[in-house]
Amino acid sequence: MKKVVCIIAGLLIAARLFAQDCTHYLYMQKNKTIEMTFYTNKGDARFKSVSTVSDVKTDNGITTATVVSQGYDKNGKALGGQNTVRYKCDGKTIMMEMNFDIPQQQSDKSVKMDVKVDGGFTEFPADMKVGDHLKDATTQMQMGANGNTTATTTVKITNRIVAGQENVTTPAGTWNCFKITYNTTSSTTLGGANAAQMDTVNNALNKLKAKFGKLIKTPSSSNSSESTIWFAPGVGMIKSQTKGGTIELTAIK
């Protein structure tokens, strides 16, 4: 769960339209390694996600890439295990999977935690232009304790608008990007666990809030905010900004 932002996370780069060519997209290049870093609004690096493209296959005109990600805290310590997601490209649209499982390692061996994220694919058309309205997306994160669903967070992404084009510079380079604004609404509800399990869930949610700002609110609450991402055609997401902080592409290998 500490790597939910990995994914979402999720994601990345090189400046040209790929009309019918998926190979320029970073996550479509086998053995490519992509590093994204989360910064607070004060500019402090709090979290890093390192993703490696482990496999790329094409079938019936659709290219599918398997991407394995590992999260690290600000001190370089690995956070839990790795998680795996898929990216798809049909030459017209890039699709980023929002489904994955994150097994949790707990100091309390009597409480077995895990996290499942289910949201299908978020789409980015290759031929987007300023003024376009992109498809909405919904993601649901379920936290479990000892086989029970103990917390469910639903995140709805709406009003995705291609607001303009800008050059964006990060530690990894400079790209001409589409600026995409959108609204995010999230709500969290709890249930189905005993007191000890609920304490574990609350602690996990509080740690997630501390790392990733206001995307995750306190249990049984809701939250709405405006966010922006900068997407380089034929490459991927270069930068993302929310009330909680900023995620940037910081290294490519």
Position 148 scores a pLDDT of 67
In Å, what is the CA distance from 213 to each residue of 33, 82, 190, 250? 26, 22, 20, 20
Going by pLDDT thresholds of 50, 70 and 90, the confidence category of residue 149 is low
Q: Measure the CA angle with vertex 19, ends 15 and 182; round to 5°.
A: 65
Distance between CA 78 and CA 81 in Å, rounded? 8
The dihedral over CA atoms of 65, 105, 137, 93, expressed in degrees to the nearest 10, equals -10
pTM above 0.75, yes or no: no
3-class DSSP assignment, residue 85: strand
Q: Average of pLDDT values for 46-50? A: 93
How remote is the C-alpha of 253 from its chain's centroid? 20
Residue 192 has pLDDT above 60, yes or no: no
Domain count along the chain: 1
Position 11 scores a pLDDT of 34
CA-nearest of 248, 233, 243 to 26 is: 233
Residue 185 has pLDDT above 50, yes or no: yes
Residue 130 has pLDDT above 90, yes or no: yes
pLDDT tens for 88-104 read 999 899 998 876 555 44
Longest dimension (CA), the chain: 54
Residue 200 has pLDDT above 70, yes or no: no
Q: Average of pLDDT values for 176-196? A: 79
* pLDDT, mean over the chain: 79
- Domain ranges, residue 30: 4-252
Going by pLDDT thresholds of 50, 70 and 90, the confidence category of residue 8 is very low
Position 29 scores a pLDDT of 95
CATH number for the domain harbouring residue 201: 2.40.360.20
Position 14 scores a pLDDT of 28
Question: Tokens representing 83?
Answer: 């998680």
Q: What are phi and psi of 91, to 5 degrees?
A: 90, -20
Distance between CA 160 and CA 137 in Å, rounded? 9
Position 97 scores a pLDDT of 83
